[in-house]
Amino acid sequence: MRAPALVSPTHPIEVPAIRPLSQRQRAVDWLRGLVMVLMTIDHASGEFNPGRLFTDSTIFYRPGMPLPLDQFLVRWMTHLCAPTFVFLAGFVLLGSVARRLREGASEWDVTRFIVSRGLFIAAMDPIWMRIVFPTPGGGWILQVLYAIGVGLVAMAFLRHLPAQWVGLLGLAAVVGTEPLVGLAVHATGPALIVARLLLVPGPAGPFFVGYPLLPWLGIMMMGWGAADLARRAPERFRGRLLVAGGIGLVVFVVVRGLNGWGNLGLLRVDGSLVQWLHTSKYPPSVSYLSLELAMCWLLLAAFMTWKPPPAVDAVLRPLGQSALFFYLLHVHLLALLGTATGLAQKGGLGISFLASAVVITALIPACNAYRKYKLAHPRSLAQYV
């Protein structure tokens, strides 16, 4: 272990560098744990709540459709999950690569691992998550694990570019999605399949794409660029998060207020709170991502100075440290609970929150045990999850 040597009296100059890094890692764990909790509520609502809203796109929503406030806000608060999870995937990847190189891995070894892990994660959507996420026509589902997994494959090669170029290219991919989507919707034949995989949700041959790659890869690239900023100037990173969060909120207000470009056609029909927050997630619009990433950055900055109470830490940290492991189990457990209780699509919001608490409570010991095993066997198959 190097940490004791770094904080020893013989190395006093290194002390400022290690403290922000340690706090930052805790902040990442807490934030990732928080989005796992919110995600569980959303998926529990999908399992138990017949009134659950799924109107986050012009594909599903038509002006005039009812948006009950309670149902809308429960759905809306979970919008934070996917952008945060993908951003943090890019953020922690830089540290993981640096650690492997310090431990003696070659560049080829690192690339091979990132590619193989990315393909494994992407395959979990059509193989494992398809069991609990049925698709129209029975296609093979490609959701957030597809976006993260294929995004990691791309990052295995993009990482060789200067880190800040990667971050800026990611931002360009996010902002530039809308005009490309406008072209993609007119594609036909093989071009349509490519457009679905990269830009527009919908059927693509035997697959049904929920998370087209390009905008989500852009978010992962932004996470990589942010991690490089944190590495270079850890003492300034929290301030930069606060500035970025503020800019994101301003962009959201301007884009949503103008009610044109940046909303991917999902426009406000009035000035109500619901209509301001009713943004397009499928595919993610600039208004959606500017708000959600702003909240991600502000929460990360908050967690860097605020430590949750022990009871909250005992929930958030295990989920954050074993996020993918938790993700691969929680929806299946919710489905089993719905079948066992006979409350599937019958329970409403109250039962959805209760089911979320039951599943999270049940999986925390499993997450702790898995984390211990993974730390004790760093080169086992557990490193892929």
Alpha helices in the chain, H assignment, sequence order: 3-6, 15-48, 69-77, 81-102, 107-127, 144-158, 163-175, 177-184, 190-198, 213-232, 234-258, 273-277, 286-303, 310-321, 323-341, 348-376
Check whether 182 has a pLDDT greater than 90: no
pLDDT tens digits, 83-106: 999 999 999 999 999 999 999 999
Q: What is the mean pLDDT of residues 225-237?
A: 96
Residue 18's pLDDT is 35
Of all residues in the chain, what percent carry a pLDDT higher than 90? Answer: 86
Average pLDDT over every residue of 270-294: 97
Return the pLDDT at 136. 67
State the average pLDDT for the chain. Answer: 92
- For residue 4, the model assigns a pLDDT of 35
* Across 224-251, average pLDDT: 97
Q: The tokens of 101 are what?
A: 């190189």
Average pLDDT (264-282) is 96
pLDDT of res. 186: 85
- On the question of pLDDT at 206 being above 50, the answer is yes
**Strand 202-204 and strand 207-209: pairing?**
antiparallel
Question: Does 73 score more than 90 pLDDT?
Answer: yes
Whole-number Å distance between alpha carbons of 79 and 75: 7
Q: What is the mean pLDDT of residues 313-321?
A: 96
